[in-house]
Structure 1
Amino acid sequence: MILDLDRLQALRDCCADEAAFIRLQKVLAIAQSNRPAENRRISADHFAAADPHHTQPQESRGSRLLQGVAEATGQLLMGDDYNEAIARALAILGKTTGVDRVHIFTIEPHPETGEPVANQKLEWVRESITAHIHNPAFQSFSFSSPSATEWYRAIAAGQIVSGLTREMPPEEQECLLAQDILAILVVPIRIDSELWGFIGFDDCRTERQWSQDEKAALSMMAASIGGAIARQQAVTALRQSESRLKKIAANVPGMIYQFLYRTNGVRQVLYASSGCQELLELDPQAVQADFSLISSLCHPADRDSFEQAIADSAAALEPWNWEGRIVTPSGKLKWVQGFSRPEQQENGDLLWDGVLVDITDRKQVEQNLRESEARYRAMLDASPDLMFRLSRNGRYLDFKGNAASAHVPREAIVGHYLHDVITADVADMFWQEIQQTLASGELRTCEYSLPEATGLRDYEARIVVSGEDEVLTVVQDVTDRKRVERELRESEDRLQIFFNATFETVIIHDFGKIIDVNPAAEQLLGYSTAEMIGMPVMDLVAPSHREAVSRTWQSLTSPNQPYEYEAMGVRKDGTYFFAAVCAKAIHYKGRSVRVAGVRNITERKRTEAAIRQSEARNRALVNAIPDLMFRISRDGTYLDCKAERDGDVLLPPSQLIGKTVYEVLPPELAQQRMHYVEQALETGKIQLFEYQLRLTHNRASRLYRQLTSDQPTPSEASATRDYEARVVVSGEDEVLAIVRDITERKRVEHQLWASAERDRLLGEIALRIRQSLDLKAILSTAAVEVRYLLQADRVSISHYDENGVSVVVAESVAENVLPTLGSVMDRSIYDEVKAIFERDRIYIVNDTEQTESPPVLKEYYKHYQIKAGIAVPIMPDGQFFGSLVVNQCSSTREWQPFEADLIDRLATQVTIAIQQSQLYQQVQALNAGLEQQVEERTAQLQQKMQELQQLNQLKDEFLNAFSHDLRTPIMGVSLVLKNLLNQSGDIVPITRSIVTRMLQSSEHQLQLINSLLQAHMGETQGVVLHCELIQLGLLTQVILEELEPLVVKNQATLKNLVPPDLPLVTADPLQLRRVFENLITNALNHNPPGVDLTISARVEEEMIRFNFQDNGVGMSQEVSDRLFERYVRGPKSRHSTGIGLGLYLCRQIITAHGGQIGVYSAPNVGSTFWLTLPLAISSVAQANLQED
């Protein structure tokens, strides 16, 4: 085995002395010589090859043990991992020695008691042997037993302990046999001459006797282990030290630096710690790059001293120590101190290692100290106490005081001796005190009295050494204090009287003996005062309580700490009583003792026991009650809470206590609860109220919740509860609130009430539905009431006719919901609906997306955004009338059974109402038929009478107009003829103009007669038409050209806007010409000259529409309405002629063609006459023909 110098030194450190080191070297040499040449390293397997329990010669066994010790020592010296090295060493030792178990224990003080205890740290065991490394009995193993104490003393003295189990005392045998140990060897492990622990060797199968050589070898092994442990501790300490140094460098309140001063004058900072940033407000790298940054920070007044200090340190190679001010880049003024020691390098450069720290606070403290010193000096000067400096021989060296306090002038004191100033007896005492003070060097205190003019004054002097062979004496006038002390003694006398007179037992003791008692103690304890004085105070304590009392005394942390406790006392006659003891420390007759007041609380204890039993019964009753209980203060703070489960309350009790009701409950409920708390505290009477904690149901109205009890979802059910609270005063400014969950009771009550309310409301709704006999009103009322009751989005009623076509005849919808009123569905949906109702009386869909439905219904749901629905048939007299449908469009809906039943019952009421309405309508129809016949006949008679009156009026107007129109031309012709007859001769000359006028008059008369005949023929036989295909654009153009002279004559303007390519019509061209001419001449004749007339035409819905628009005088609506009647003439004008049949004939002609004619007019605006004629060929067919 070859050891390097470091390991050899470590081996030397493991040995207790040089002789032990030499012996260990010999052991290693023997182990080296006994190894095979090819392998000098002894492994654990080598020792395992031999049977350790075979009898071997002592010399062979000793040699093998030395080899094992050497190998184990080598493991400790060469192993890198400390724990693994020791574990391998234990294995080698176990297999070398042949024992069954090797273990290492540490011995260290107990963390609480300080007594030494053993803790097992490492262990090696042979197979089949029980390991104890995890046995808790070997952790904090105490040496308190006598046998364990002997073992500890031997180990602590450095002795090896060994022996056979059967030869040991019974107590030790029991402990060892529990571990199957037949023989044991324990070797102490010491580190730096201090006991660290021990290594033990257990034989569990043989009774082994250990030789002295084996013990010596194992002792050296223990020393090696101790050395390895010490080395490991040193390494750990070194690592911790390095870690601390790194932390110190990072956290030191300043900057650590290395400064290099080269021979060529260059100065450079080689290293600057991170404190540079905080101290100088400069980056360390910047300082290392440029030293001038530091010198530039120096205060101008201190820069020269900074440079001079560096130069002086470099010249003398003395430490650099400089204090000065710097100004940081931010403008802060700081005091800094630098200290470093120069080292001259081989090349002549100087290297300083040092630290630069901020001493601004210290400078401030120094300034404060100077100011403080000045203040203290002022205070000292202001102190009224006298101060004297006295030499050893009693001579006054100095004096501080004034004449008022010393009563003697200063010059009469300084330089004189004690006997010259004060009385002889006091001077002798002072001289003795001065000698003792100088001899002991300790403060001494003495008191004395001096006569003065005002009487005898008392003084206290404190003497302390103030220099070589001199003392300082501070003298204080204690006359007033002495007076107070006398008064205190008098007070003590009065207290003694109280002590003797009080009814409460008082015992004065020193924790051991009773020093004094009062007479009340004799009555309580049965002893006389003489018997109790000197008695152990613990004799008055019942045996079962003495240990507890002793622990109370031992727990006191200071001599003057008071204490209180309750314990059972024992009287002289052996009877027991409960006592409450309250004790305090006092000075009694010059001694520090305890005065204990003892009160007999036996009756109180009995009462408390009875109260506890009562409380236990009450608590059992309270715990058996499932109600919640809260203690609440006046301000609403929860003081306590009782709940079977945390889920019964809004917060767990641990979180609830300490909070206020305003922090826990909703604001309205918190206000309600605090109202009843205040009422209970003010009146003292129990307050009873109910409340509910529940979630808001957004979709349910209050009425609906009342009717349905609105069964909540599982998530809502856990948060919606009904409670009954009883509030009663339970103490000063606090109440007890007992809260009972009445949710189930409320639910049952609500269900009963809701059922009755549903029946009542159903009756009211049925009554409202059946109040009207109007079918439309019945259905509308039913839809509104059902939607309000169920809070649905849409309620509709559909009616199916005999062909299966459905129409929504009544509906009530919410806002933003698509209405279906008036919508029509073909027979396909009728077949689906009828099939559904034949299968199910009530059709329920909770989710249209999830329910299988016919495609036609799916499309219906999608179109009208239906998410859920329910429908029932309406079947008056067994006939399928239609259906009552309820839709939910905003979301899906879980329809409740009572809702389905409610809709079914409402449908029945609607059916009854429909039947009543139908019966009523039949009766009404019969009545109405008779009434209508009477009314019709009456109306017909009235109409005939009115028509006769109108005809008479029209006849008068017609005859008047007709006679006027006929008389004018006849009178003209008659005058002409008379003029001609008046001329002489048989032949009368007639001019062409006269003949022309006579012809025009005759034609006008003929036209009037023809109009009359045509009107009569149109009424009796109808208008006779000779139809042909006509192009109206061309016809219009021809008519306008013919009427051009008439337009010019009336100074009118005529615009033809009729398209030339109008579609063909089938019509009578002569009759249409008559209509067009009549409308145009009417516009010219009934308006003043200069009128503008526009004719236009367009195709509208298989008809051609003509407009004849003028800007003339117009007419009223009343005239317009009667304008196309027979014998009605237009507004009067100078151009008005005719008998009022023109427009009447126009209407007959246009009507005969299958068209219509009318007028739009207003006074002073003009008139627009319009007419329509059907196309000969439809526009679609005509378009196809044009494409072809």
Structure 2
Amino acid sequence: MFTVSYRLRTVEKQEQVVTLLGVPLLNDADLLDGWVSWVSSEREPAFPAESSIAPELLLSNGAATQAPLGMVCLSLDRHIIEANERYCQIAGYQRSELLGRRLHYVLPANLRAMINLSLCQMLMGNMQHLVYEVAHPHPNGQSLWLKVTATLVWHSQGFPLYFFAWVEDRTLQRQLEQERVTLLAREQAAQAALQQAQQETLALGSMLHTVFDAAMDGIIIYNADGTVLRLNDAACALLEFEAKEQCVGKAFAELFHGYQIYQVDEDTVQPVTPEQLPTPRMLRGEIVSKTYRINNLLRFPSGRERYLDLTLTPLHDHEKGLTGVVVILRDVTARHNQERRIRQAFHTLSYMMETMVSLSLQAEQATTEEGFAAVSLPAVGQHLTDALWQMLNCKIVGLVALEGPDARMQMVGISGFPREIAGLVQQDMNSSILSDYLEEGCIARLQANQTVICDFGKRSFARPTYGIRNFLLAPMLLEGQLIGVFGIDRDQEQGYSNEEIELVKALANMAALVLERVRLLHAWAQTRASAMALHESNSRFDAFLSLASHELRTPLTGIRGCVQLVLRRMETLSRQQEDSQMTEATLQRLRQPLEEAVQRAVAQDRMISDLLDVSRIRANRLEMIMRPVNMSKIVHSALQDIRYLAPERTIELYTADEEEIAISADADRIGQVVSNYLGNALKYSAPDQPVELWVRREKMLVYVAVKDHGPGLTPQEQQDVWERFHRVKGIEVQCGAGGGLGLGLYLCRTIIEWHGGQVGVHSVKGEGSTFWFTLPLASEDR
């Protein structure tokens, strides 16, 4: 800031002294932005100067020094020229530290630009005063909330003297205001929460009333005197009251006047008086439990009966004094009747099982005078599982017998699967041991007469489990030995109750008795049949010796005759040496008997091989070398061998365009079966009739059939043809060597069944026969 005096000469040639006051305008970085100037024509103007400010304008009197407001004077170029004690306290500096300092020394950085601009506006006359509130940081680290009022003091001659500002510490007022606002907000929030709680309480009360009235179970609320306070529609309907309004206010004894009440404990029913019931006893303090349950039989005045499940809960005040009782009534008549039906079904089932074995024995004893049929364990077991599957609420019912120290499994009965799947289950089970499906811990529990629930989907098995996931297994024990396992399977969502587990366990015990009885009957039947079988065996053996000696001698006789014939012809040829050459007819006459000799030798070898195989089967020494093989290749190989031996015959092959039909089998033995089927078809059909060979897949099986146009078989002959040493009477060989020993089809059936397959024949007398067999596909090809 500066002052300059000039001597000016006017137009009238008069001289005048003019004084110029210049105030610099500085920016926030103390750089000059411009000037503000005032011109005075006074002879000696009273322009302010830093060293000549009038003392009465400064804050030097005692009142200003001790004022509660902070006061500060600033020069026009914004230097502090005076400040009272209160301002120094608010600013946090000593007075000596402030005087002569620029205002920016005590201003926060974020306010400097705004204050600088505002003061410039006042110097230029664009603003009268400045008022603002700001959070001001104190040097001691506190934050003060200040209200600042600044103005520009002017001289009477119209030029500015200095800036003057009042600073009020409003920190306490601000805190009080904030606390007031906070308290007001909390009060409003509390009022809103109270209103919301009241609304929620009303809504909850309304909802509880709705739930109370709409509950399916009956609910009665008594006060401490035993008077009905409230009951819902379900209780009114359950107890056959006419109206709820007529029940409210009545005592317990009055409410149930005319009713007969009985206490139910399992199968016992005891009459009780109203005073003996749990509700009056709880009101008298005789029952102090939090929740009490009991079953009652209620007989209405109309004579109707209803079983009720009662749940009682006492109500207490804040001092734990009894204020009432809540009674929940549930109609369990249907459940009680169901339990009674289950008990009846259990007794009926026991009687049925005993009767079934008795009837089975009677049926087996009602045989012809000539024969005796042994008791069939699979027939009895299947009949048993079928009956249980119809009575029990489950998907699968299975009964497995265990044999030997390694617990080999024998599927006695399985119900719930389709027939094809049931056959596969039986095949897998019959070739497994118990440890293939159960862990050692589960087997130990079964041996300890405990049930086991298995989820076969949680672990991997070498054999398929056919979707069984929730299998309840019960042991079948006899004299402490595990002789079998009885099991049922149902959906996992249903689970098994304790009553159902005990029922299955009891059924397993009875099934063990049934199996043992069937086994004893079977042993008795075998013992009795052995004498008859011995006589029949001796008779068949004598017939076999006669037949074998004849049949074995016949090919040898033919071979000998053919060889003798060749010798005679050769002798004749030797006498005809003078002939120049042997004719073709002569060679044919020599070839024919030799070929016939070869065929008879082949027949002889086949019969001897059959006899050896039968001997091995009876001694349980017939070996099967099982390995993955191609069924199509086996069939083609057997067909090629037959066509070589009978090139003049027509054999038509019908097969799918599949390159491979994978099975697990002994290829030589299966080829033996196919060759036997084809040889029989050629032997018993006319030479001009074709033979058909069929090979195809059927679901999880391979089907092979040989069809001929021979004499056909009767139904009885279709059953007997598979027996050992059996030959159909009245059927003559139409092509090739003579008949065999009656062992070929018996060997075929044995080989196929040892492979887990089946054999059969479809035939109509006079129209030909179709002999077939099926084998399971390999596991990866199913």
TM-score by length of 1: 0.24
| Higher helix proportion (structure 1 or 2) | 1
Q: Answer with 1 or 2: which has the greater Rg.
A: 1
